[in-house]
Structure 1
Amino acid sequence: MQNNNLNNKPINSSRHINAKYEESLLGLILTNNKNASKIVPYLLEEDFAILENQRLFSIFKELFENNISINEENIFITAEKRNYVQITPHYLARLYHATGFSSNIQTYLEELVKLTKLRLIESRVALVQRKLDTEKNINEKDVIFDLQNLLLDIDRSQVSAEFLTAKEVSDEYYKDLETRHSKDLNELNGLSTGYSNIDQVTQGLHGGELIIIAARPAMGKTAFALNIASNVVKRENKRAVFFTLEMSSTQLMGRIYSLNTQVPLQKLKQPQAITQNEFMIINSIKQSVIDKMNLFIDESVNNELNTLLWKCRRLHKVSPIDIIVIDYLQLISSDTNKRGDSRQNEIAKISRSLKTLALELNIPVIALSQLSREVEKREDKRPIMSDLRESGNIEQDADIVMFLYRENYYKKNVSQETKDLYGDIGEKIDIIIAKHRNGPTGTFPLWFKMSCGYFMDFQNEDIAISIEDESDEE
């Protein structure tokens, strides 16, 4: 942006300057002291590239922070103490005429912060380029370190109206409270999982929450997450993203077909066994349900944390998404691994980043997780928090931790034929909410039809099916 006032001299030769916006903000403070609280806390002196503008802003800042009226008398007293000869009556008179519109304050702020970042990038890149041009035996790691520090400095220079007053937060909270108070008692304030017992405890899945679904292999954690995503998309008419880091998109789609059509997955893998009636059902569900699902599947072989975060932010910016599912957490890699850090530190960074993403996009993020083999060594196979692999930070970052436990899985001396039978008609599976930051914990049974990966509400304790050890039969 070119300098808009040729009478003002910029502090440096950068073209990333907007003198008009600088003067508009200063003029708004001069003409109405109330505007100071909307401007001064959100800018730094370096956000003003014109020398006299920068110096006047520093005076405004001192007066504002000391609760002194920002008027000409106090301005000139402070300017004289600091020997700021640029602050003259003629200069102030010009600012009175340069006043912008108070409704544009946020636009002015964002533009000046953006230009500050560009000037910072410009100067630091020039330094790096000078180093490359002039120094002999330069170490590429030093250059990379300089560039990384530049990125950190840019992050630190992010100055915007991020702080909220108690009244602003109070108003927002009260409005939400009022809205929920007027709702039916059973109406959720978050996204429904599709399962009444879980929804009743969690009040749905909320923006900013990191939900961990953990289990030992073959318990059904991918199926459970896929059911939740499918329910959110179909019943709530929302948009979901599913990162499948372990299987291909076509394999995942096979599971989506199976749970939606109730045709066993094994049949879909061997379609010759599909009956004509089943094929008609599949075709109907494809057109009426699956093809209309706002479900986005990512099967990229690149499982880098930063790539995953970038994809989510980019998609959300183009077309907002409502929930993210990642299958599974331990398959994500991060740059800490390249630096030789421990796996525990890497998992800590991943879980923290996923929690930050949930807060940033204000949507729930579900991450599947493995459990350690310690479960298998205990007599009681029900998972506990310490069973989470590299668990310390996962437990800390998660808002909700759910474990899946199928008692029938651990029954001994049971033939495969018997297990297949119950796989077709279904069995009880316990969803153990072991951590809930904003509510109660507990164990909640669901019905799991494993042959098609379908979960449903568990309606009646009397119909629970528990496989008995066949060796105990007479």
Structure 2
Amino acid sequence: MKRRESITTYNRVAPVEELPESPELERAVLGALILEPAYLPDVRAIVESSAFLDANNGKIFDVLAAMDDEQAKIDLYTLLQRCKQTGAGIETAYLAQLTQCVGSGVNVLDHARRLKDVEIRRRLCLFGQELSARAAADPDGVLDWATEEITAIASDTVRAGDIMPLSDVLRATLDRLEQRQKARLSGACVGVPTGLQRLDAITGGWRGGQLIVLAGRPAMGKSAVMLYFARAAAASGVPVCIFSLEMPNDQLAGRMLVGGSDVSAGAFRVGNIDADGWYKLEQTRSALSALPVYLNDRAGISMTTIRSQCRTLQRRGRCGMVVIDYLQLLDTSTGNRTSTREREVAEASRAAKLLAKEIDAPVILLSQLSRKVEERADKTPLLSDLRESGAIEQDADIVAFIDRPAMYGAQTIETSRYGTISSEGVGVLHIAKNREGATGRIYFRHNDSLTQITDYETGTTSTSENPF
């Protein structure tokens, strides 16, 4: 007897021959607006001319919108005259018929919402048809295109909570203030803990909706500090999503294992681990495995894909903070030949800020600094050093530069808080921008491999001979 193999099948539906439409709703909305144009601003917040499948109806709505922008008086006569001026080709009889479709504008907002629903269904049908054609003809890039298109359709739906009265916003603001006060009185960090006490004191911890740009020159330790921030957040119970475009997942995991176990980075790299080292690594693996950290090391990922994955993980309670390492490695191609690299990077930076607001979680975006830092006598990073786009500075709520003076040959560091200190094993976080607080310098200690980081006041960390 032959074994019947399991075959995965998908429901096949017949192609949509007629797209969803509602001529009656289109005429009802336009007729109501002609009779009671005071509803026009509210209707425009719900639908655009694209909601009208009938080309003439779309033209009439565009004329009404233009008259509304000019605050012109709208009635049947003035609308007819404007249609003639614009060459819309609308007949008088048709406009008169529109006013006969409804008795008043009382239900126009409900009609507009229903018309918007029809448009969304029509766009979904068209999306499905184009998706099928693209997948069959040229599957390369179809997933990113589909994600972007479906996200655009979803974001175009009307959300009742988009507009809120000031009274509700004030109440919510005071509620959050009360939560911050309770956290401060209990000695807890107000936001997501950074792992550095001085940094928590200046920033209050990372906050939902914030875009934090962590920038530095190559080999300054951006990824190491990023991992430290990620582990501190995860240890406090905040799920962290790390998108690493530079290092593979196993290398990130290796750094975390070395940092948590105090095993020599050089020994870990070449596999020279004794029994005690293996015991420490297994103990660290057990502790790290309990942390809510999720890794994605796909190279050349786009912000559209990152947004889609973060939204999915957030719905499952697995995305409370996002880390992207790093901005200049993102896929920023737009297909527009006239677009510049600076504009593409600016769009990616803006997308990261919008992601932070949409999922109400902090987004830490790593970025490279230009070579101008190394050309100056004073190697202190400046906001103007952010590479390829000034928009990064504008989008960011916090900009922190990583600096290790010892890398430039400095033996000591002059500080206002600690006086003159040795530069060996000391890093500096320059908080160059803080939209909700103070700026300044945060000093931290690190080992040679940058796998262990502590507050400067905590004391020295153990060192390893070779960098990881």
Range into which the TM-score falls when normalised by the shorter chain: 0.5 to 0.7
Q: State the SS of the aligned residue for 1:200.
A: helix
Residue 280 of structure 1 corresponds to which residue in structure 2? 279
Counting only pairs closer than 5 Å after superposition, residues 164-179 of structure 1 correspond to structure 2 as 164-165=162-163, 168-179=165-176
Please tell me the residue identity of whatever aligns with 1:438: E
Question: In structure 2, what is the Cα distance between the partners aligned to 1:377 and 1:55?
Answer: 58
Tell me how far apart the structure 1 counterparts of residues 328 and 70 of structure 2 sit (CA, whole Å): 52
Q: Is 1:44 the counterpart of 2:48 in the alignment?
A: yes
* Separation of aligned partners in 2, 1:101 and 1:351: 36
Per-residue deviation at 1:78?
A: 9.3
Q: Distance in 2 between matches of 1:18 and 1:189?
A: 51
Q: Deviations over 1:317-353 (max 9, x none)?
A: 3221222222222223422698376543443333233
Relative to structure 1, the CA distance from residue 54 to residue 398 in structure 2 (aligned partners, 3 Å threshold; closer, same or farther) is: closer
Alignment of 1:312 with 2:306, yes or no, is yes
Structure with greater proportional helix content? 1
Match of 2:19 in 1: 15
Determine the C-alpha separation between the residues in 2 that align with 1:124 and 1:290.
44
2:118 matches 1:112: yes
Aligned partners of 2:32 and 2:102 also within 8 Å? no
Taking only the aligned residue pairs, the percentage that are identical comes to 27
Match of residue 142 from structure 1: none
Distance in 1, Cα, partners of 2:386 & 2:104 = 65
Amino acid at match of 2:199: I
Q: Deviations over 1:162-192 (max 9, x none)?
A: 8955x52552243122331353262555322
In structure 1, runs of 5+ residues without a counterpart are 1-12, 68-73, 126-146, 415-425, 466-474
Partners of 2:430 and 2:410 lie apart in 1 by 23
Change (3 A) 1:25 1:199: farther
User: CA 1:344–1:24 in structure 2 vs 1: closer, same or farther (change >3 Å)?
Assistant: closer
Q: Matched residue of 1:43: which SS? A: coil
Compute the RMSD of aligned alpha carbons.
5.0
1:241 has 2:237 as partner = no
In structure 2, C-alpha distance between the alignment counterparts of 1:54 and 1:399, rounded to whole Å = 41
Which residue identity does 1:223 align to in structure 2? A
Using the alignment, how far apart are the partners of 1:65 and 1:384 within structure 2? 43
Q: CA deviation at 1:269?
A: 1.6
Give the CA deviation at 1:197: 1.6
- Aligned match of 1:468: none
Letter matched to residue 353 of structure 2: K
SS of aligned partner of 2:432: strand
Per-residue CA deviations over 1:394-425 (Å, capped at 9, x if unaligned) read: 223322111112233334799xxxxxxxxxxx
Q: Deviations over 1:90-128 (max 9, x none)?
A: x548999xx8997x996x365134146468879999xxx
Structure 2: 5+ residue runs without aligned partners? Answer: 1-16, 81-90, 132-144, 413-423, 462-468
On the 8 A contact 1:216/1:372 being kept in 2, the answer is yes
**Aligned residue in 2 for 1:71:** none
State the match for 2:291 in structure 1.
293
Aligned match of 1:388: 386
- Secondary structure of 2:272's aligned partner: helix
- Residue 86 (structure 1) aligns with: 97
CA distance in 2, matches of 1:337, 1:36: 37
* 2:243 counterpart SS class: strand
C-alpha separation in 1, matches of 2:103 and 2:303: 49
Amino acid paired to 2:350? R
User: Corresponding residue for 1:6?
Assistant: none
Structure 1: how far apart are the matches of 2:343 and 2:64? 45
Q: Secondary structure at the residue paired with 1:16?
A: coil
Conserved in 2, the CA contact under 8 Å of 1:219 and 1:405? yes
| Equivalent in the alignment of 2:260 | 260
TM-score, length basis structure 2: 0.67
Cα deviation digits, residues 258-313 of structure 1 (max 9, x gap): 2233323223223333342x3223223322x3223332222223x1xxx4223222
**CA distance, structure 2, for counterparts of residue 325 and residue 239 of structure 1:** 11
Aligned 8 A contact 1:220 1:453 in 2? no
Partner of 1:334: 332
Q: How many residues align?
A: 398
Q: Is the 8 A contact 2:22 2:115 kept in 1?
A: no
